[in-house]
Structure 1
Amino acid sequence: MVSTMNAHYSSRNLLALRAPNVVMDPHKLGAMHQHRLSFVRSLIRRMANQQWHIKVTLWELSSQGFGTVIYRLITPSQYYHLVIFSNAINDEDRNDRVIAEKWDITFALIQGAVDNNCLHQLRNNVPLQEAGRNKNNVLVLARANKSVRVFNHLVDRLANGQQPDHDMLVNVGYILRTTAVYGNGKFGIADFELLADNPDFNLSFSAQMCAVYILRQFSLDWVHFLAKQQGGKTAVRLSRPLQRYLGIGNATGLGMAPYLICHPRIIDQWMFVRETAIAIISTKTITLATNRQLTTLLRRAVIHLQQIVTIDNHQQRLNHIAISELQHVLSQLSAVVIPHQYWQTLLHHSQSLSEEAQEIIIACLLELYPKQTDNLEHQMNADETLALISGTTASDLTALLEQRYQWALKIDFEQPDNNYWFWYRSADKEEPRIGIHGDDLGEEKQLPLDIARQTQALYLALKQVSPHTKIATFLLQQPHFRTIARRTWTLGHSPMGDIQINILSRRVLPIHLLRCKLAMLGATKFDPRSDRWLRVTFYQGAPLIDEIHANEWLFPILPTAKSHSEIKERHS
């Protein structure tokens, strides 16, 4: 088999990395899975290594489960509070779309103390979400809805002294499903720069992921509380293996997609660090122990895929193909993976597999060398500056575009299908939407996400001037190219560069962008509901708050009947 692991050398790294056209291909990004460098994994390791503590400080819920709950998070440096409001809403008001105005749960992560005045202010604003006004001690603002089927089923079964039905849990995998988790200064809350020197949340999205982790514990405490209210002494607690199995769901739509376009240096850094880890591991010598560990992880991955329930026919086919391929890999592993050779051998062989199977193998390999992988997690942040170097000429930039942006230059934008969509931001919720070019209103307000088209226009304009023209002079004459010139020069000199996607194409699948970011956050069980939104699960299989550890919990699977029947905990 011919490997596509072509050597790509960065000035920042002497390791042979996979080529950008491989790594930044949208289909490859759209097949990513949670891995050891995903943010939920980094966060849990930090919590374990630094012995963070979480406890309830306020539980004021009615017998129906409505009211206020506060969890305190204590770290070595300071303390925080997750303030949760449980609200009574009608079933017809329960909507995962951003246009919703009522939710079962609204919550906020607060830095520092929550006194009566602070709680009063939060109670008046957090349930309003975007319409509220919050102070900058609010690090995260979010909301969630119940999976009504799972919620009611759990409360009913536990109240009657029974454990839940397996099929119900495997079909959903969570009690609560977040519909938006805001951070980084949105709607007046604390900006990420305020956390730059915070030793607890100085990594990307760590505050948001922490809020979601504590919410997962609330969802379990909530059903236990209501089961006790209904069943009294008959009620039992959910077995601990099943508690670990339940995560937090998430419904994500187009609103997430522009992030990957608008923050190119962050995405480049994420992928560069991940590729660095892959390159390091590819040079490691295979041993019998690591081979056995890989076998265990791949077998678990197969079961994980088999247990994913999705209504999307295309994703079903992708999962079935990956299952078949991974089973074949397992049957041939002893012939392909030979002790004293390097893991690059397996990576070479995997290039003939589907993107799903390739990404699963990569995620498993990253688990084999925790020290080498974990040492890279502090490199995930990036300087987002886009700049040109003084003295750059038209010839310099043209050559760079021809070298690194061929994927954009070869697109024929005269073809209607390559110029089909336009992206804009809704006036009410400030969320991205897409419209059809020439048919839908609002094209004059389109967002500048068309990087491929802008790059091509810049290239054609540069070809019309003298090669010796200074870019500064060129931009004085044509200032509308200033942003794309800075971007392409900066990303053209970055290890991975831009995502190689024409966001305007009729055939584009925004879901590829969504999945890439969700996998980096640490999501599992990808369930597309269309080409524009999907449901996933966070923290499924993760340790509970009283057992936080730094071990792996990749590819969660439903516990066996034996594993969870061992524990039948009754309320005292």
Structure 2
Amino acid sequence: MTTPAAIQTSLRGDNALPLRPAEQVMNLERLGAMHQSRLSFMRTLVRRIMRERWQIEPARFELDQDGYGTVVYEVRAPQGLYSFVLFSNYLSPEARNDRVIATQWDLTMALVEGEVDDIYLEKLRQNVPKQEAGRVDARVFVLSRANRSARNFDYVVEQLAKGEQPDIERIAKVGYLYRTTAVYGSGKLGMADWEKVRTHYKDFARPFAAEMFVCLMLRNFSLLQAEHIARHRAPERFQPMKPEIKRYFGIGNSTGLGMAPYLVNHPLLINQWVEMRELALARVRTLGAITPRIREQLNELINRCTGHTREIWTEDEWQTRNNQQVLVDLEALAAQAAQPFENWDGLLDWSQQHCSLQGQEMLVSILLELYPELVDDLEDFHCAEEFLDLDPLMPLQTLKDVIENRYAWALAIDFSVEGTRETCWYRSEEKMEPRLGSVADAEAKKKQMALGVGYAVRKCYDQLCEYVEQHPDHTTARFMVARPKMRGIVRRIQSMNRCIYGDIQANLLDRNVLPMHLLRCKLAFFGVSKFDPRSRLWVRNTMFQGAPLLEDIGKQFGDDWFMPLAPQQ
């Protein structure tokens, strides 16, 4: 198998174009301007399911006429048998809460290794609906929960029970029937850790593949449950939903600060994700032939992105302004793309001069969509060995040079300015979830997380310079003995020097830091769309809108659900 390093080497010949520089790509605001792409994890998962023709069938279907009960799907993939177990319970309106502090939900679910017998199902029934308050074993590797959409679920059931289809304009405002508020994996609450999933469950050996699969299954169950309830409510008048309308439904998601620290705490993995995306772009820039058919597809995708952006509904003023700017960018991009050009660099350079960051990154996603043959094989290289190694023999002058070259962005920040060290990231005791506070709060400061990489580098550099003046010939090992508290940041600095990307080039301790950029970046890698911020700390979005249905497995698949549009009614 060709490695990413070998692929990059093949692109870096005399005639190859370089990857975009880290100072451009890892800018926090640009990371927050990213969009879904062919390499997003939802897209790669669906391609695998459709290509390998997974068999997904209900092994147990025990729902009453109101849709409450238990459903177990058997999932037969090429390298294993799994069960998706779902519990549907009545939830009173006053108990419905999307925040992480909630203790009850409409649906709770788990992805489990192998078949589920009556005894094990009962064990799951006693724990899965409790979520964090319960405990599961290592047969489980994903746990999740979800609530019905107050604006859509009952409405859709009523329409189907009357023999009518749901109104597309109404659905476009909230493109889902359920919204998940957490998807847990990687060893939490007793579940199988990532190493076990990666080595034992090869069908889910890509980052977040199992978590994305649970969301996909939830999306399909939501459609099945709505039809089930409507059928029992009015069996004579009931009409099933049209497949094209079904595909327009995704699954909702509410995401808060919980995922923000991930981007900082897993720099080698984030480097891999970013590098594969940038490598795909470099391939397109270098090898992507601009034929009449490609020009036609480019125009079609620009129009599709325009339509998709117009369908985004949000009450947030900041997001509304961003969406309006993207529409302006796309209109200008369509006009520019109609002019003669010989290579993609010209169009990319033009976008950097005339478009917002979101418009620029939208163009990147469009270009990746045009060349699946240059992009799709990179989906196999999203994993990384996450060891930050310390090199004790590195001369201190070399370490100093590394900091000055790789972390020039951190050294350029004046941390003595008021507000540059005001934000405090800490973990709450109640839910063990990240929170945002101020260093003025003594309790928050006591529990703060080490997310201020730029400030840590600055402190390390200052102490290193002082030490080198006295001991210019010492190695890193001697410096570590003298300054043991610097071990963590030195390990990171040395390890990240082997990467192109990975470190977010921003001061996350600044009073004006916008966590939304962190959330959007990770969600873009997942493949979500239609961001609807509810504050600067959490956002609603839509997953799997436009994706094929379970009943589409085995049929012809064009993998053409990028920026889906509402069906014509």
Please report the TM-score for the alignment, with normalisation by the length of structure 2: 0.95
Provide the residue aligned with 1:115 in structure 2: 117
Structure 1 equivalent of residue 4 of structure 2: none
Q: Structure 1 residues 397 and 13, CA, compared in 2 at 3 Å: closer, same or farther?
A: farther
Q: Who is 1:213 aligned against?
A: 216
Quick check: 1:552 aligned with 2:560?
Answer: yes
Does 2:254 align with 1:251? yes
What SS class does the counterpart of residue 234 from structure 1 fall into? coil
Aligned to 1:268: 271
Name the residue aligned to 2:304: 300
1:37 to 23, 32, 39: 39
For the 8 Å contact 2:545–2:564, the answer to whether it is kept is: yes
Name the CA distance, whole Å, in 1 between partners of 2:383 and 2:78.
22
Which of 528, 536, 561 in structure 2 is aligned with 1:531? 536
2:254, 2:538 within 8 Å by CA — same for their partners in 1? Answer: yes
Q: Are 2:38 and 2:375, in contact at CA under 8 Å, matched by a contact in 1?
A: yes
Task: Write the letter of the residue equivalent to 1:555.
Answer: M
Displacement after TM superposition at 1:232 (Å) = 1.0
Per the TM alignment, residue 332 of structure 1 is displaced from its structure 2 partner at its CA by: 2.6
Q: What is the rounded CA distance, in whole Å, between the counterparts of 2:197 and 2:372 in structure 1?
A: 26
Larger CA deviation: 542-551 vs 40-49:
542-551
What corresponds to 1:373 in structure 2?
A: 375
In 1, the alpha carbon distance for the partners of 2:57 and 2:254 equals: 27
Aligned partners of 1:552 and 1:425: how far apart in 2? Answer: 40
Contact 1:79 1:112 survives alignment (8 Å):
yes
Cα distance in 1 for partners of 2:369, 2:278 equals 14
C-alpha separation between the residues in 2 aligned to 1:360 and 1:22?
15
Task: Tell me the distance in 2 between the aligned counterparts of 1:147 and 1:218.
Answer: 14
Question: What corresponds to 1:343 in structure 2?
Answer: 344
Aligned AA (1:443): K
Equivalent pairs: percent with the same residue? 43
Q: Can you list the C-alpha shifts for 1:433-461, whole angstroms capped at 9, x where unaligned?
A: 11111145331121111111100000001
Q: In the TM superposition, what is the alpha-carbon distance from 1:13 to its structure 2 partner?
A: 6.3
Instruction: Give the match for residue 393 of structure 1.
Output: 395
Match of 1:228 among 221, 225, 231: 231
* More moved, 346-355 vs 269-278: 346-355
* Counterpart residue number, 2:101: 99
Q: Equivalences for 1:80-95 in 2 at 5 Å?
A: 80-95=82-97
State the shift of 1:529 in Å: 1.0
Deviation at 1:59, TM superposition (A): 1.4
SS across alignment from 2:61: strand
1:240 aligned partner: 243
Gaps of 5+ in 2: 1-6
**Match of residue 321, structure 1, among 319, 325, 346:** 325
Once the two structures are TM-superposed, the CA of residue 10 in structure 1 deviates from its matched residue by 7.5
Aligned partner letter, 1:465: Y
Task: Give the equivalent residue in structure 2 for 1:567.
Answer: none
- Are residue 277 (structure 1) and residue 286 (structure 2) matched? no
CA contact (8 A) 2:391 2:476 kept: no
Shift of 1:321: 0.9
Match of 1:499 in 2: 504
TM superposition score normalised by structure 1: 0.94
Q: Secondary structure at the match of 1:203?
A: coil
The SS at the match of 2:57 is strand
2:168 touches 2:567 (CA, 8 Å); kept in 1? no
Instruction: State the SS of the aligned residue for 1:232.
Output: coil
Contact 1:143 1:180 in 2 (8 A): yes
Q: How far did 1:378 drift?
A: 0.8
Q: CA deviation at 1:130?
A: 0.7
- Matched residue pairs, number? 550
Greater shift in the superposed pair: 542-551 or 112-121: 542-551
CA offsets 1:405-459 (integer angstroms, 9 cap, x no match):
1111121222231111111111111101111111453311211111111000000
* CA-atom RMSD in angstroms: 1.4
Structure 1: state its 5+ residue gaps.
1-8, 562-572
Whole-angstrom distance in 2 between the partners of 1:297 and 1:167: 22
Distance in 1 (alpha carbons) for counterparts of 2:395 and 2:440: 37
Letter in 2 for 1:475: M
Bigger shift: 213-222 or 194-203?
Answer: 194-203
Which residue number corresponds to residue 191 of structure 1? 193
Q: 1:10–1:495: 8 Å Cα contact kept in structure 2? A: no
Partner of 1:517: 522
8 Å contact from structure 2 (residues 54, 75) kept in 1 = yes
Q: Cα–Cα, structure 1 residues 376 and 89, in superposed 2: closer, same or farther, change >3 Å?
A: same
- Of the three residues 471, 478, 485, the one matched with 1:480 is 485
Distance verdict in 2 for CA 1:12–1:400, change over 3 Å: farther
Q: What CA distance in whole angstroms lies between the structure 2 residues aligned with 1:10 and 1:442?
A: 44
Superposition deviation, residue 144 in structure 1:
0.4
Q: Secondary structure at the match of 2:85?
A: strand
Change (3 A) 1:12 1:140: farther
Match of 1:454 among 429, 433, 456: 456
* Deviating more after overlay: 56-65 vs 376-385: 56-65
Inter-CA distance 11–407: structure 2 relative to 1 (3 Å threshold):
farther
Secondary structure in 1 aligned to 2:82? strand
Q: 1:550 Cα shift?
A: 5.2
Distance in 2, matches of 1:532 and 1:451, equals 20
Residue identity opposite 1:286 in structure 2: I
How far apart are the structure 1 equivalents of 2:351 and 2:385?
34
> Contact 2:33–2:357 (CA<8 Å) still a contact in 1?
yes
- C-alpha distance after superposition, 1:24-76 (max 9, x if no partner): 00111101111000001110111111111211121111222111111111112
Question: Hey, what does 1:165 align to over in structure 2?
Answer: 167
Measure the CA separation in 2 of the matches of 1:356 and 1:440.
38
Alignment partner of 1:204 is 2:207: yes
CA gap 1:53/1:550 in 2 versus in 1, 3 angstroms? farther
Counterpart CA distance in 2 for 1:530 and 1:442 is: 20
Report the Cα distance in structure 2 between the residues aligned to 1:10 and 1:555, rounded to whole angstroms: 29
Question: Which residue identity lines up with residue 486 of structure 1 in the other structure?
Answer: R
For residues 291-312 of structure 1, what are the alpha-carbon distances to aligned partners after superposition, in whole Å with 9 as ceiling and x for unaligned? 1111111100000000100111
Deviation at 1:497, TM superposition (A): 3.3
- Which amino acid counterpart does residue 324 of structure 1 have in structure 2? V
